[in-house]
Structure 1
Amino acid sequence: MNFARTAWLKIHLYLALGGGFLFVLLGLSGSLSVYREELDELLNPRLTVDEPKGGYLPLDRIMAAVREAHPDRYGAWVLEMPRSRNGMITVWYEKPYETFGEFYAPLMVSVNPYTAEIVASRFWGRTAATWIYDLHTQLHFGRFGWNAVGILGLLLIVSASTGLYLWWPGFSRLLQSFAIRHDAGLARLAFDLHRTLGPSSAVVLLLLAFTGFHLAYPSLLETMLGASDMGHGDEGPEIVSTAAPNGRPVGLAEAVLVARGLFPHAEMRRVTTPAGENGTYRINLRRPGDANVKHPATLVWVDRWSGQIREVRNPNTFTGGQTFISRIWPWHTGEAFGATGRFVWFCVGLMPLVLYVTGLLHWLHRRGSIADREIDLSTLRPKLERAWSAFLRQSADLLRFVRILAGWALVRMMRLAQWGKRRYLD
């Protein structure tokens, strides 16, 4: 083994032993965060509309309900439209006094778009889904954790790159390198899985690591590409109202209508209300052909007093650097590649765990810490088939029991409802 390969092997090994657990933590939390909204709705069924009927209420009425529920919160609010007809409108308040000293903990108000009912008012980080998301972005250590995650992204790039270098077998043995020998012992199986799954997921892992590093330190790449204020979460230039206050401010619906006048086929995804007397509306529009992302790149600023358009950010006029920066967040979340991309990203987030375990088993075997053993699938197959058959039988029995229990409960509820109706009529 030459000196260069030995050096790369030690770097790969030390990074795995030193940061492997953190890579696993970021991968698992990232996988769950891909479906953060779906997870939140699963854990909180009240956040879904069971039978949506009709259309959404006007945004001004939605905002009036939010202000009535939170009369002491001044400044800008951000209304985020649901991705499906069963979802809630989420209204964000960035700096609530209850969590003012925390790194990031805005107020999230969930509003039924059909009734304007305030379903929930929660703080970021106080729910299971956002807690997992914070674990992924800053390990629950605030600014220090945010910077640490950025460094871990850089180390993951090194780890994946060294792994690819050590794996590369040459074109002549490329197909052979993906062979998995299940009858050569547990350690060999672990090594083959590590050698196969690592390169298979390396491209996406490198993309996730690179975009994650940029999200932690956005100014580095933005400065290099001349694309300041273009990244995820950037509000863009500070656009203020130039019209004199007249006591007749433009409403939300009117501001959105004005913004869509430039892009008549676009869908409004987010709108930020004016902050202060000189504030403006900021409307995010999703245009046909765009990915279904939470933060579309098309932005329109509308004057709150005159209703005139003050500024437009049109992706068709972006420079190459601006386009690249604006796509980093959708690349990191998988949103840029649709539902398939999000699922692939979810699966790739599990790979650090698989690679960590298989690499650790191989390393322990090489050190003599664990002994190898043969895996004979011919003896395992009948056991697996019997276990699967037993599982199917138990599942069928369980389903029958659930149906019987549900039928009994339904009959009892109908009888109780009839009894209550008679009591009410009497």
Structure 2
Amino acid sequence: MIVQELNPVRLRSGAQRPAAAHPAPSARMPPPPRRSWKKIWLRVHLYVGLIGGGLFVLTSLTGSLLVFYKTIDEWLNPEQVIRTVGTDQPLSDIVAGAKTAHPDWSPPDTLIFPLHERDTFHAWFKDPASAPPKVRWHVVAVDPSTARPLSNREWGNFFVSFIYELHQELLLGKPGEIFVGILALFLLLSIGSGLYLWWPSPGKLRRALTFQTDGSLIRKHYDLHKLTGLVGAILLMLLALTGFYLEFPDAVTSVVQWFSPVRETGPEDQPQSEWQAGVPTILPEQAIAIARATFPDARPMWMGLPQHERDSYSVGLRQPEEIRQAGGQTEVWIDQYSGAVLRAQDWREFTGGETFLAWLFPLHNGEAFGLTGRWLILVAGLTPLPLYVTALRMWWLKQDAHRRRRES
């Protein structure tokens, strides 16, 4: 430090201090005025919007479609909805019926239960010819009342699955997931800088919240841009934050663990069955009955079937008032030979950190607040399009005006 390099004798004797150590108040540099900061953030906002705006629009529009992905899929593919409602067949027959679509493959990895009266079971098969990092999945829809397969589709090759891959990874695999996660941070930067630029001076709030119909064409585009941004800012920030978590769950979980414990839930942490030679495995419907006995008020949503001799059944359930509506956060792991409950995860016993993480996906797709929440997220996903169009139009009009002035 400069003070430490000064002569202490001179300082104690009252000699004048060098200006470099303690400048006089009049010599100190004033902080940059707000106008200068606005110029800096205007450039940041402009370049982030121009460079990333198209991708913001792409990911947000695809996200809006995915809010009602199941409804869209059933509308585009009527075979996913059964025509007549009857008595459900045993789960073992449902699994056997699904396996007829892939007789040479292992049993389905996961079985998704129907969400409504006319919905079907969906059995997910892992293609044995594929390998990480790009594992191919096939989804077989099975009629609950007949155990007959209704469709057999490869994930990524039908509309809603294509939209999902485009939204999650831009069809680029793992590098695409990383890119989309970083893109979420740039969206936050764009929203934050836009709010800073909009923030009105004292006494100018009314003008900042109005649309001037008698203004210039640039002014009209600006007013439309700012008002659209204000309407969607909070929800877009929410989507960006939750989207970052979905792309980088381990990074976010590590940060959350600084404040509250979070139990490990990766595949390597799943409890294993105690292998018993010659002992038959329990049936899927028996595993469901055990899980329901563990949580009597819960509704089974999905089950993971054992693929190897040490694997266990895993049953996902949804208890009343759970945040996650389509999947639930309650889970039971069951020994495939003895039927013993190896572990039970009760959402009511989550730590603060686990509860926080459990909220993020339901917030991202809006299901945390039911149908109203889904519609809000859908509308929020539409706002980047007019923001991008008005921004491009303003930029082009200003460039054209500059060109005209130079030529005149």
TM-score range with shorter-chain normalisation? 0.7 to 0.9
Which residue is 1:271 aligned to?
Answer: 303
The count of residues paired between Structure 1 and Structure 2 equals: 366
For the structure 1 residues 154 and 271, does the alpha-carbon distance in structure 2 shift closer, same or farther, using more than 3 Å as the test?
A: same
Report how far residue 129 of structure 1 moved.
1.2
Which residue is 1:256 aligned to?
Answer: 288
Distance in 1 (CA, whole Å) between partners of 2:67 and 2:135 is 19
Distance in 1 (CA, whole Å) between partners of 2:189 and 2:77 is 39
For the structure 1 residues 158 and 144, does the alpha-carbon distance in structure 2 shift closer, same or farther, using more than 3 Å as the test?
A: same
Distance in 2 (CA, whole Å) between partners of 1:37 and 1:18 is 32
User: Which of 53, 67, 80 lines up with 2:85 in the alignment?
Assistant: 53
Residues 225-277 of structure 1, C-alpha deviations (whole Å, 9 max, x = no match): 233545xxx55722101262443311111111111112111100000111211
For the structure 1 residues 370 and 351, does the alpha-carbon distance in structure 2 shift closer, same or farther, using more than 3 Å as the test?
A: farther
Would the aligned equivalents of 1:245 and 1:305 in 2 still touch at CA under 8 Å? no
Distance in 2 (CA, whole Å) between partners of 1:312 and 1:236 is 16
In structure 2, give the amino acid aligned to 1:165.
Y
Distance in 1 (CA, whole Å) between partners of 2:51 and 2:137 is 34
Structure 1 residue ranges without an equivalent (≥5) = 372-426
Which residue is 1:189 aligned to?
Answer: 220
Does the residue aligned with 1:284 lie in a helix, a strand or coil?
A: strand
In structure 1, give the amino acid aligned to 2:223.
D
Does the residue aligned with 2:200 lie in a helix, a strand or coil?
A: coil
Distance in 1 (CA, whole Å) between partners of 2:402 and 2:379 is 29
Structure 2 residue ranges without an equivalent (≥5) = 1-33, 404-408
Which residue is 1:294 aligned to?
Answer: 326
Does the residue aligned with 1:155 lie in a helix, a strand or coil?
A: helix
Which residue is 1:117 aligned to?
Answer: 148
Report how far residue 171 of structure 1 moved.
6.9
Residues 116-175 of structure 1, C-alpha deviations (whole Å, 9 max, x = no match): 110111111110111111111111111111111111011111111111111122574434
For the structure 1 residues 338 and 208, does the alpha-carbon distance in structure 2 shift closer, same or farther, using more than 3 Å as the test?
A: same
1:105 aligns with 2:136: yes
Instruction: Give TM-score scaled by structure 2 length.
Output: 0.84
1:6 aligns with 2:16: no
Superposed CA RMSD in Å reads 2.1
Would the aligned equivalents of 2:322 and 2:329 in 1 still touch at CA under 8 Å? no
Distance in 2 (CA, whole Å) between partners of 1:43 and 1:24 is 24
In structure 1, give the amino acid aligned to 2:59.
L
Does the residue aligned with 1:274 lie in a helix, a strand or coil?
A: coil
Which residue is 1:64 aligned to?
Answer: 96
Would the aligned equivalents of 2:80 and 2:119 in 1 still touch at CA under 8 Å? yes
Would the aligned equivalents of 1:240 and 1:303 in 2 still touch at CA under 8 Å? yes
Large movers: runs of 4+ above 6 Å: none
1:42 aligns with 2:90: no
User: Which of 113, 118, 122 lines up with 1:81 in the alignment?
Assistant: 113
Which residue is 2:5 aligned to?
Answer: none
Does the residue aligned with 1:310 lie in a helix, a strand or coil?
A: strand
Report how far residue 328 of structure 1 moved.
1.4
Which residue is 1:280 aligned to?
Answer: 312
Between Structure 1 and Structure 2, the one with more helix by share is 1
Report how far residue 176 of structure 1 moved.
3.8
Distance in 1 (CA, whole Å) between partners of 2:136 and 2:274 is 32
